[in-house]
Structure 1
Amino acid sequence: MCMRRCLVGLTFCTCYLGSYLTNKYVLSVLKFTYPTLFQGWQTLIGGLLLHVSWKLGWAEINSNSRSDVLTWLPASVLFVGIIYAGSRALSRLAIPVFLTLHNVAEVIICGHQKCFQKEKTSPAKICSALFLLAAAGCLPFNDSQFDPDGYFWAVIHLFCIGAYKILQKSQKPNALSDIDQQYLNYLFSVVLLAFASHPTGDLLSVLDFPFLYFYRFHGSCCASGFLGFFLMVSTVKLKSLMTPGQCAAWIFFAKVITAGLSILLFDMILTRATVGCLLLGGLGEALLVFSERKGS
């Protein structure tokens, strides 16, 4: 069992790393900044692969209850917000900066649990939230590559993540499984992003994209679609086999590796102040892992 957990954890880390680096390459190096098309493509591939897996008996999907589907609809809207805003933010921000801002979603969840659900919060978790918030708050003032649009979309992204996870936790225990939820997210995203591609101008603007007929662009887009699907599957598997504390540890490990390698592969100007903010954010997430493991 221990070997199986390690294998699932390493698979998750590999998919996480590959997904982020591939997306960053397409968005920043190739500059394919048409989020309705890029995210629509990724969710289409994910939805098709999940549907095929279901038909082959490799995955179980039981989203037949109309009431459960309608109840989940607001979460699917937030999911579109997550991937759309995340794509726009990642195209403008370095991966370590993006992940530091992304982690602030945990502060929203912690605040909701403390203020509205009156849950008891450990001192480690409170310190974690404060460190994450401080790191994200100081970054804009110390980022030598500061991009206001990138930070704006990152804030939208993290608020959507926080609201999505709050809605996810409020679901009835026997309502929809993680796979059911993701299947509905894929279906809704493909439809909404397809309709949005024309009003946003992406559908016509993409014709001017210089690498539209290049094999490296086609290969990167295919890789991003498949890696996104495998990341979703490995995440679901990770949650089913491990405690919340163990999951948090693997996610933290994947983020550290991804952030570290991205600095070597993509242009990022590091100053002492920027590194300090990133390390403070890392310390905040490490404390979050500690509190999750202690709680489990």
Structure 2
Amino acid sequence: MIGRRSLLGLTFCTCYLASHLTNKYVLSVLKFTYPTLFQGWQTLLGGLLLHVSWKLGWVEINSSLRSNVLAWLPASVLFVGIIYAGSRALSRLAVPVFFILHNVAEVLVCGYQKYVWKEKTSPTKICSFLFLVAAAGCLPFQDAQFDPDGYFWAVIHLFCVGAYKILRKSQKPSVLSDIDQQYLNYIFSVALLVFASHPTGDLFSALDFPFLYFYRFHGSCCASGVLGFFLMLSTVKLRSILAPGQCAAWIFFAKVTTAASSLVLFDVILTRAAVGCFLLGGLGEALLVFSERRSS
């Protein structure tokens, strides 16, 4: 019999894999590279589903959120930066490359904790950070499909992720639950991305998208929004039930599974040096998971 925690972990991994691969399909195969519209749609659908879930009593949302909007506003701005830059990066980079660069955000968070908050860092964690930075630093020189714009947006993405995590940690304990925070993120994201769709040119450029009236495109966009919502819910549930080290282990497993699947489903040119960077980055994240499990 599969235990409740294992079932939750497997559900999270399934949502993680399906969400990332669906997004990659829309962004790279269908080439719908209009991030204000794509991410605006995802956050709109996610916000609507979360609101309906609240009204049906499936999730709890603090009814006095308005008093906390200003305090959470910087985090919501960073959230928009995360999804916008992440969308632009993922449209140009292979999934394993995107993950290797994304993982550097953990180095920023722990570096801030060590040098600003004066927290102790274990030798294992320091070693994992060295591997993560080395893998990300060497990868651009070994990537046969190197795209400077993709790497640029990936760097913006990882800095936003790092700053978002630091901001969340600095506000603990918070009166806002994870669901409350995500609800505010959805509302602010929709408002900002809809407003930005015209200045960025996405609004009218999308009218020339060749698959605009194809069911394949409509189905993929709907799937991406629904899967993103369920990924958010499963992530919140995973963090509420499991210890940080166990959560990190499931996230690592989900990333490895998703990266391996992407190599089969999408065109990726692999070189020995690039594979070495992937393995080095995987080793760094595995050591980080090990250190998290020991400390939890």
Same structural fold, with TM-score higher than 0.5 when normalized by the shorter chain: yes
1:182 maps to what in 2?
182
2:132 maps to what in 1?
132
Q: Amino acid of the residue matched to residue 142 of structure 2? A: N
Which consecutive unaligned segments of at least 5 residues does structure 1 have?
none
Q: Secondary structure at the match of 1:181?
A: helix
Q: Which stretch of structure 1 is more off in the superposition, 62-71 or 124-133? A: 62-71
* Structure 1: distance between partners of 2:129 and 2:144: 25
Q: When the two structures are superposed, what TM-score results if normalisation uses the length of structure 2? A: 0.99
Q: CA deviation at 1:205?
A: 0.1
1:150 maps to what in 2?
150
2:97 maps to what in 1?
97
1:168 maps to what in 2?
168
Any conservation in 2 of the 1:12–1:234 contact (CA below 8 Å)? yes
Q: CA deviation at 1:50?
A: 0.2
Q: CA deviation at 1:65?
A: 4.8
Equivalent runs, 1:138-287 vs 2, <5 Å = 138-287=138-287
Q: CA deviation at 1:171?
A: 1.2
Q: CA deviation at 1:68?
A: 2.3
* Structure 1: distance between partners of 2:140 and 2:21: 23
* Structure 2: distance between partners of 1:174 and 1:167: 11
Q: 1:135–1:188: structure 2 CA closer, same or farther, 3 Å change rule?
A: same
2:114 maps to what in 1?
114
* Structure 1: distance between partners of 2:32 and 2:234: 27
Q: Amino acid of the residue matched to residue 251 of structure 2? A: I
Any conservation in 2 of the 1:63–1:176 contact (CA below 8 Å)? no
* Structure 1: distance between partners of 2:126 and 2:172: 27
Q: When the two structures are superposed, what TM-score results if normalisation uses the length of structure 1? A: 0.99
Q: Secondary structure at the match of 2:3?
A: helix
* Structure 2: distance between partners of 1:63 and 1:148: 45
Q: CA deviation at 1:229?
A: 0.1
- Runs of 4+, deviation exceeding 3 Å: none
Give the superposed CA RMSD: 1.1
- Residue 288 (str. 1) matches residue 277 (str. 2): no
Q: CA deviation at 1:64?
A: 1.3
* Structure 2: distance between partners of 1:36 and 1:65: 25
Q: Amino acid of the residue matched to residue 79 of structure 1? A: F
Q: Deviations over 1:104-162 (max 9, x none)?
A: 00000010011000001001111111110000000001001000000000000000000
Q: Amino acid of the residue matched to residue 45 of structure 2? A: I
Number of residue pairs matched by the alignment: 296
* Structure 2: distance between partners of 1:125 and 1:216: 44
Q: 1:14–1:65: structure 2 CA closer, same or farther, 3 Å change rule?
A: closer
Identity of aligned residues (%): 83
Q: Deviations over 1:188-242 (max 9, x none)?
A: 0000000000000000000000000000000000000000000000000000110
* Structure 1: distance between partners of 2:29 and 2:134: 30
